[in-house]
């Protein structure tokens, strides 16, 4: 186990109640009150930090477009 993967900011994703304009940051792990809507937006926000980050995804169904930008652009990390 690599301890670095458990460090860094936590970005939250809620496919129903989230919005990609939200910061994705909660006051604690598991706080989805300001969640992103798509997994792609969470990866994009995390990659922009240039530091380790974690993504918490609220259970639910996600369409293919939730993983890419407009179904075409994939995160590079």
Residue range 35-48, pLDDT digits in tens: 999 888 999 999 89
Q: What is the mean pLDDT of residues 24-29?
A: 93
Of 60, 59, 65, 76, the residue nearest 38 (C-alpha) = 65
CB 67 within 8 A of CB 40: yes
Residue 15 near residue 60 (C-beta atoms within 8 A):
yes
pTM over 0.85: no
Each residue's pLDDT tens digit, 44-66: 999 898 888 999 999 887 776 66
SS3 12: strand
Predicted local confidence at residue 77, as pLDDT? 53
| Sequence ranges of the domains in the chain | 3-60
Token representation of residue 65 = 């477009």
Provide CB contacts within 8 A for 49, sequence distance 6+.
8, 9
């Amino acid at each position: 186990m690599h301890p670095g993967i458990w460090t860094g900011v936590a970005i939250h994703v809620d496919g129903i109640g989230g919005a990609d304009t939200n910061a994705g940051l909660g006051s604690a792990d598991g706080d989805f009150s300001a969640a992103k809507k798509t997994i792609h937006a969470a990866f994009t926000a995390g990659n922009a930090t240039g530091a380790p980050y974690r993504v918490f995804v609220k259970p639910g169904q996600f369409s293919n477009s939730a993983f890419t930008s407009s179904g075409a652009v994939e995160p590079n990390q």
